[in-house]
């Protein structure tokens, strides 16, 4: 039923990734689908942002995986509850997961553990500093249109580990390590691979920097919307 109203009430559709573009074209049987990407905010390019530390000083060999998000079921954060004991079983005790959840959500959905740290929700201007305190970005999400976490990690020079799904590959290309969605064992293997290989970490960072120009800047996004608006006003 919602497809009917989408097709009846819209002359064109704008999405944020080519993966979603393909899916919408197929679902709605239309070619009037256009991609205007998302990107990191301007805070990630500013030099004078607050540098308030949210985490204690690192212990030797500590490796921090940041998941900067609120809680939503599709984010698949509960995978972390299964990941921690798997990593411990493999003898890896110094990998920590850093979350930014409301405390009520953290208590409800996550299992307490010393290797799981919740700093609470952040203001947008506080996020770059937290990236600086971490070593990589971990996103087990099962559904996204365009997660800003990907370009944020890239511009902050952090390697990315994420679920192997179309939206993720559409955004990250070869600038990420991928694991089978919902598979904690597969995720653990990829995490250990990244942790043990500094050359791989640097390679992913460099590939992420090369990926950034593919995302629309604010002026480009505005211009694309204006161009589309003019096109369809003339057509209709």
Instruction: For residue range 174-231, list pLDDT tens digits in order.
Output: 999 999 999 999 999 999 999 999 999 999 999 999 999 988 887 888 888 888 888 8
Distances (CA, A) of 171 to 117, 148, 150: 27, 10, 7
Q: What is the structure's pLDDT at 146?
A: 63
pLDDT at 57 exceeding the cut of 70: yes
Tokens encoding 6 = 């989408």
Q: Which residue has the higher pLDDT, 107 or 44?
A: 107
Q: Which residue has the higher pLDDT, 193 or 1?
A: 193
Q: Which of 178, 131, 181 is nearest to 152 (CA)?
A: 131
Beta bridge partners of residue 95, listed in sequence order = 63
pLDDT band at 7 (very low <50, low <70, confident <90, very high): low
Provide, rounded to the nearest whole percent, the portion of the chain with pLDDT above 90.
63
Q: How many CB atoms lie within 10 A of CB 145?
A: 12
pLDDT band at 4 (very low <50, low <70, confident <90, very high): low
pLDDT at 3 exceeding the cut of 70: no
Q: How many CB atoms lie within 10 A of CB 74?
A: 9
Q: What is the structure's pLDDT at 2?
A: 61
Q: What is the structure's pLDDT at 46?
A: 82
Q: What is the structure's pLDDT at 175?
A: 98
| Mean of the per-residue pLDDT values of the chain | 90
Q: What is the structure's pLDDT at 74?
A: 94
Q: How far apart are CA 7 and CA 28, in angstroms?
A: 7
Q: How many CB atoms lie within 10 A of CB 65?
A: 24
Tokens encoding 1 = 């039923």
pLDDT band at 44 (very low <50, low <70, confident <90, very high): confident
Q: What is the structure's pLDDT at 217?
A: 80
For residue 115, give every residue at least 6 positions away whose Cβ sits within 8 Å of its Cβ, in sequence order, or none.
84, 87, 88, 93, 95, 96, 97
* CB-based contact 72:173 (threshold 8 Å): no
Q: What is the largest CA-CA distance in the chain?
A: 64
Q: How far apart are CA 70 and CA 118, in angstroms?
A: 11
Q: What is the mean pLDDT of residues 24-39?
A: 80
On the 0-12 / 13-18 / 19+ scale of CB atoms within 10 A, 234 is exposed
CATH architecture classification, 42-214: 3-Layer(aba) Sandwich (3.40)
Residue 214: DSSP 8-state? G
pLDDT in tens, 130-168: 999 999 999 999 977 667 899 999 999 999 999 999 889
In the chain, CATH 3.40.50.2000 sits at 42-214
pLDDT at 108 exceeding the cut of 70: yes
pTM: 0.86
């Amino acid at each position: 039923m919602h497809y009917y109203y989408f097709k009846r009430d819209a002359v064109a559709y704008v999405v944020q990734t080519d993966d979603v573009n393909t899916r919408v074209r197929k679902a709605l049987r239309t070619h009037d689908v256009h991609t205007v990407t998302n990107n990191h905010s301007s805070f990630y390019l500013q030099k004078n942002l607050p540098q308030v530390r949210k985490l204690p000083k690192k212990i030797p060999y500590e490796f921090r995986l940041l998941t900067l998000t609120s809680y939503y079921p599709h984010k698949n954060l509960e995978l972390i509850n299964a990941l921690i004991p798997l990593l411990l079983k493999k003898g890896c005790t110094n990998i920590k997961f850093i979350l930014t959840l409301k405390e009520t959500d953290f208590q409800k959905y996550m299992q307490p553990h010393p290797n799981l740290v919740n700093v609470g929700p952040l203001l947008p201007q506080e996020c770059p500093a937290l990236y600086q305190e971490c070593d990589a970005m971990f996103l087990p999400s099962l559904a996204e249109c365009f997660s800003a976490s990907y370009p944020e990690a890239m511009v902050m020079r952090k390697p990315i580990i994420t679920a192997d799904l179309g939206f993720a590959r559409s955004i990250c290309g070869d600038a990420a390590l991928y694991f089978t969605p919902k598979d904690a064992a597969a995720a653990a293997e990829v995490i250990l691979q990244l942790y043990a290989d500094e050359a791989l970490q640097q390679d992913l960072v460099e590939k992420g920097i090369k990926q950034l120009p593919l995302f629309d800047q604010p002026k480009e996004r505005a211009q694309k919307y204006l161009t589309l608006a003019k096109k369809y006003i003339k057509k209709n």
